[in-house]
Amino acid sequence: MHDVDPLTDEAGAYEIERRLFEFVTCRVRFSAEEHIRSHFGALTIDGVKVEIIGDVETRRADESWEGGWDLARYKRVVEIEGMHIPVLSLECEYEAYRRLGRTEKMELLREWLYGKRGFGEMLERWNVTTWLVEGRMVDKVSQLRVDVLEYYATPGEVTDPGQHARCLDVLPSEIPALSEIMQGLLIHVLEAERYGVQLSRERSEEVRIGCVTGMLSRILELDRRPLTVARPPERRLVATCHDYAVLLAAILRQQGRPARPRAGFAAYLAPGRYTDHWVCECWRPAEQRWARVDVQLDSVQRKAYDITFDPCDVPGDHYLAGAEAWQLCRAGDMDPDRFGFSRWWGWGYLRHSLLRDLLALNKVEILPWESAGLPEKEEAKVSQQDRATLDRIAALTLEGNGAFPALREAYERVMRLGSPPDWQPWRLEEVDGGWWMAVSGVELAVGGQE
Same domain, 172 and 232: yes
- Which residue, 115, 149, 183, sits at the end of a domain? 149
Same domain, 123 and 193: no
Residue 390 lies in a domain: no
Q: Are 397 and 407 in contact (CB under 8 A)?
A: yes
Same domain, 297 and 429: yes
pLDDT, tens digit only, all 450 positions of the chain: 567 888 888 998 999 999 998 899 999 999 888 888 999 999 998 888 899 999 888 887 778 888 877 666 666 666 566 666 777 776 677 777 777 777 777 667 666 554 444 444 444 433 323 222 223 323 333 333 447 888 899 998 899 998 999 999 999 999 999 999 999 999 999 999 999 999 998 898 899 898 999 999 999 999 999 999 999 999 999 999 999 999 999 999 999 999 999 999 999 999 999 999 999 999 998 898 999 999 999 999 999 999 999 999 999 899 999 999 999 999 999 999 999 988 788 998 998 899 889 989 999 898 887 764 455 566 777 788 778 888 888 888 888 877 888 888 777 766 654 322 333 333 323 222 332 222 222 233 322 333
Question: 3-class SS at 86?
Answer: strand
Same domain, 128 and 160: no
The CA distance from 130 to 140, in Å, is 5
pLDDT at 267: 95
Residue 295 lies in a domain: yes
Same domain, 185 and 279: yes
Tell which residue, 42, 48, 41, has the closest CA to residue 2: 48
Q: What is the pLDDT of residues 235-257, one digit of tens each?
A: 999 999 999 999 999 999 999 99
- Which residue, 96, 124, 149, sits at the end of a domain? 149
Which residues, listed in sequence order, are joined to residue 87 by a DSSP beta bridge? Answer: 76
pLDDT at 139: 37
Number of domains in the chain: 2
Same domain, 97 and 38: yes
Same domain, 133 and 179: no
Q: Are 195 and 247 in contact (CB under 8 A)?
A: no
H or E segment at 247?
Answer: helix 241-254
Per 3-state DSSP, the chain is made up of helix, strand and coil in percentages (nearest 5) of: 40, 25, 35
Same domain, 306 and 434: yes
CATH of the domain at 107: 3.30.460.40
How far lies 14's CA from each of 18, 47, 67, in Å?
6, 21, 18
The CA distance from 204 to 240, in Å, is 10
Same domain, 143 and 160: no
Same domain, 20 and 143: yes
pLDDT at 128: 28
Residue 400 lies in a domain: no
Residue 13 lies in a domain: yes
pLDDT at 294: 97
Domain that holds residue 202: 155-372+423-446
Same domain, 178 and 294: yes
Residue 394 lies in a domain: no
Residue 386 lies in a domain: no
Same domain, 347 and 221: yes
- Which residue, 128, 149, 170, sits at the end of a domain? 149
pLDDT at 74: 65
The CA distance from 246 to 339, in Å, is 22
Residue 411 lies in a domain: no
Residue 398 lies in a domain: no
- The answer for residues whose C-beta is within 8 angstroms of residue 316's C-beta and 6 or more apart is none
